[in-house]
Amino acid sequence: MNPPSGATWKVTATADTIRIDGRLDASLQQPFAALRVEEYEPNESAAEGPGKHHTLSYPMKGRQIRLTLPRMDGSRDRIYSAFRLTGIASGEEARPLGAPRFVEEMTGVASRTFPFPVRKSKKGLQVQMVEDAIALGVKHAALNVDLAQLVDLESRTDQIPYRMDGRMYYFRADTVKRLDGQVKPLSDAGMVVSFILLAYADPSKPALNRLMLHPDYDPSAPNRLGAFNTVTDEGLRQFKAAIEFLADRYTRPDEQYGRAVNYIVGNEVNSHWWWANQGRKSMEAFTEDYLRTLRVCNTAVRKIYRNARTYVSLEHHWNIRFGDDPLKAFPARPFLDLLNQKAKAQGDFPWHVAFHPYPENLFEPATWNDKTATPGMETPRVTFKNLEVLVRYLNQKELRYEGRPRRIILSEQGFHTKDGPEGEALQAAAYLYAYYKVARMPRIDSFILHRHVDHKNEGGLKLGLWTWKEDSPIPSEPGRQKKLYAIFRDVDRQPWNLMADFALPIIGIERWEELSPPKE
């Protein structure tokens, strides 16, 4: 519910209606003769004046608020909109009763309601080779999905059409079929599939960049990764259509194309200049924009599949930021505090966290030696050494959604293979250290390793289960399996001590139980 401002109310979507339920505050001297409902698109602000859609007025009797609007406005779905109430008294100007609020609850909206898939093992991988991932017994797979490659603005004979809000949108058949070729065999093998949603700039396609990338994207930033454009009307519509298309295709009851249930919005957004660029932005400005995109994604997937999950992507800087420029990065903890505060003020929804607890130095796999990963909430970083800090943070009452802690997945992290004869053993020991801890943390659903194969263009890091092939022009063509390969394969299906005890002296402990995290 919104803070005291004349009224409190909640917005609920059903299969056919938008329902607004609440009550006028007792502090009001007289009830209003009528209430006006103002509707705003996600990219509109009430502070800038009326939204593009007409307003509706309802007679008011007493202090109870019980209003019902048709969910569809012609072919447009109001489920994405925010609604503000304005009181009208005879002889007085209309009085806004609070800030606009979005849909907080969906009842009977989604036609697909199968239970969210749960796996006993948390073993996951950012998959490069599908058949190898299946052979490894992976239970959680993460796949990059570049929305800019998915959307098609050109006329082709093999486009895949999708209708949303009465308009037709088109997607590249070649891109979609490649994704089908990953999702289908992975989910058929029992893996929970997560999509990492991205938008890469393509210098050769300025029209596509304008549509898909945030208007403030700075082409001088590294990595060509932009924030999503949910700012302009066309960008917002295209983003909604792309997410609805993915959710519809990959939650079909017949699983024709496989099944994907997790949607990670962007990459490491607390270091946005590098991984979710919208220019140099304050944390306040970035959070407002990102929250809009996160909410739209959540609505798009959950209007189709009730139990889909949407995630915020964060890297390991917790109370410090990466780099010196506060307009390029910010710490994860204050960002989550602000995101949570704003989400609740606008209408809460079930966002979750996709965290990357890399070692403090990505080239030093011995994460148990991390100096900036301390036990308290004020820790500079959260790595595997102090991962329980993140669990404890999200378990706080004010961070919960409907009384339950938000879920956590570890969607990207890995351990570098240092040069020398002991490098592979140290990498394997670091993975075992992390896996032992994560397996004993019930609030963490998966531990998704990065990478499948070392990549020559990853700044010198060698994080894979496989080496790269030295004489290949392909930067991540597999060479040979490392020591970690067999450890990863067997970590959840072989007697632990027989497989893992070689790592005890490397880590500097006598028994694995020394690593057990405190009970939640």
| 123-450+482-514 CATH | 3.20.20.80
Residue 431: which residues within 8 A CB-CB, separation 6 or more? 415, 449, 484, 487, 488, 491
CA atoms of 183 and 13, how far apart (whole Å): 30
Characterize the bridge pairing of strands 309-315 and 351-356. Answer: parallel
CA distance 479 to 313: 31
Going from N- to C-terminal start, the domains of the chain cover: 7-107, 123-450+482-514
CB 379 within 8 A of CB 386: yes
Q: Let me know: does 130 contact 184? Beta carbons within 8 Å.
A: no
Q: Are 67 and 19 spatial neighbours (Cβ–Cβ below 8 Å)?
A: yes
Tokens coding 517: 């995290």
Residue of 241, 204, 209 lying closest to 225 (CA atoms): 209
The number of beta carbons lying within 10 Å of the beta carbon of residue 376 is 9
Half-sphere exposure of 357 (CA within 13 A, CB side): 32
Residues shown for the chain: 520
Judged by DSSP in three states, 316 sits in: coil
Res 165: pLDDT: 96
Tokens of 147: 């929305």
Cα 506 → chain centroid = 35
From the centroid of its chain, how far is CA 151?
A: 20
Q: How many CB atoms lie within 10 A of CB 254?
A: 5
d(CA 450, CA 296): 28
Residue 207 structure tokens: 């029209």
**Segment holding 410, helix H or strand E:** strand 408-413
Please give the structure tokens belonging to residue 373: 């990963």
Tell me what pLDDT residue 435 has: 97
**Terminal CA-CA length for the chain:** 28
Is the peptide bond between 84 and the residue preceding it cis, with omega within 30 degrees of 0? no
According to the model, what pLDDT value does residue 36 have?
87
Rg (CA), the chain: 24
Q: What is the mean pLDDT of each run of 10 residues along the chain (520 residues)?
A: 67 97 79 85 87 79 87 96 87 80 96 96 97 98 97 88 96 97 98 98 95 97 96 98 98 98 98 98 98 98 98 98 97 98 97 98 98 97 98 97 96 97 96 97 97 96 97 96 97 91 97 86
Could you give the C-alpha distances from 475 to 83, 203, 479, in angstroms and in order?
50, 22, 11
As its CATH architecture, domain 7-107 has Sandwich (2.60)
The C-alpha angle 317, 323, 329, rounded to 5 degrees, equals 65
Comparing C-alpha atoms, which of 271, 320, 313, 308 is closest to residue 412? 313
